[in-house]
Amino acid sequence: MRTKLAAGNWKMNGISAALAEIDALKIDFGAPGVEILVCPPATLVDRLSQRVQGSPVMVGGQDCHENETGAHTGDISARMLHDAGASHVIVGHSERRADHHETDAMVRAKTEAAIAADLVAVVCLGESEAERDAGETLAVIGRQLAGSLPDSATAATVVIAYEPIWAIGTGRTPTLDQIAEVHGYLRAELVRRFGAEGDAMRLLYGGSVKPANAAEIFAVPDVDGALVGGASLKAADFGGIIRALEQA
Ligand code: PEP
């Protein structure tokens, strides 16, 4: 049995006042077998970590640099996130791959840095709409998976998030069959490369997950949770998704 994970990605949203949204999650949830992760902007990692201490809510960063220290103005290392109280970090989100030209090799280096700093890396993959229309989805996903994961990846140190780019923030989602096809393919590739560890690695779906569609997505085989953007900003919405995961 894989532990399920509901992960929220606040992206570049949230100042101090937003931290109160998390208070309800601390009280309402904590079912065994379901983990809750919130990834606020880097400015809030330290304060959120203090605020959720002793609760089921874990805190993550949204990106890290591949180096531990150095002349990289504006960047944050995995060790710094860990020092600020984070237990996880998202790497390779499609917005970073697009906005910051991150390649699979860079994502792999960041994943290695996260593991070295005792963070769980949430490694994101996903095809564009043009790639899906061209029938290239599995080829793209397979290439990203192979290139973004280091050989040192284990079920304890890495979580994979499948996020079709065209479903992020659009209100559109793949069909359940399309999600099942990609997650089944990812599982097979992980088992082929990592054996039993690959079978134990969590596979999240991400892209316009909301309380209304969460239950049907969580019923798809090999969906072990969700990476949630917009709907993670409000406790009521994120709570609805966590509840659906608890009941899956
Ligand atoms: C995301 O960006 O990781 C994401 C899944 O966003 P949304 O839920 O808003 O589509």
The CATH number linked to 124 is 3.20.20.70
The answer to whether 218 touches 185, Cβ cutoff 8 Å, is no
- Total number of domains in the chain: 1
195-208: string of b/e by CB count within 10 Å (b at 16+)? Answer: eebbebbbbbbbbb
93 belongs to the catalytic site: yes
So what's the pLDDT on residue 149? 98
Q: Tell me the C-alpha distance between 97 and 107, whole Å.
A: 9
87 pLDDT tier (thresholds 50, 70, 90)? very high
Tell me: pLDDT of 174 over 90: yes
Predicted confidence band at 85 (pLDDT cuts at 50, 70, 90)? very high
Please name which of 20, 163, 22 lies closest in space to residue 91, comparing C-alpha atoms.
163
Give the residue numbers spanning the domain of 181. Answer: 4-247
Q: Which of 63, 227, 238, 241 has most ligand 1 atoms within 8 Å of CB, for mutation?
A: 227
Residue % of the chain over a pLDDT of 70? 100
Residue 46's nearest CA partner among 67, 73, 76 is: 76
Return the exposure string of 108-140: e unless at least 16 CB atoms fall within 10 Å of the residue's CB, then b. bbbbbbbbebebbbbbbbbbbeebbeeeebeeb
- Tell the residue nearest (CA) to atom 3 of ligand 1: 229
User: pLDDT per residue over 133-171, tens digit each?
Assistant: 999 999 999 999 999 999 999 999 999 999 999 999 999
Instruction: Please tell me the predicted confidence (pLDDT) of residue 153.
Output: 97
Contacts of 141 (CB under 8 A, 6+ apart): 125, 126, 127, 162, 182, 185, 186
Q: What number is the average pLDDT over the span 98-125?
A: 98
pTM score above 0.85 = yes
Atom 7 in ligand 1: residue holding the nearest Cα = 229
Residue 24 has pLDDT above 90, yes or no: no
pLDDT band at 29 (very low <50, low <70, confident <90, very high): confident
| Average of per-residue pLDDT across 98-103 | 97
Q: Which residue's CA is the closest to the ligand 1 atom numbered 4?
A: 229
Q: Please classify residue 171 by burial: count the beta carbons closer than 10 Å to its beta carbon, then call 0-12 exposed, 13-18 middle and 19+ buried.
A: exposed
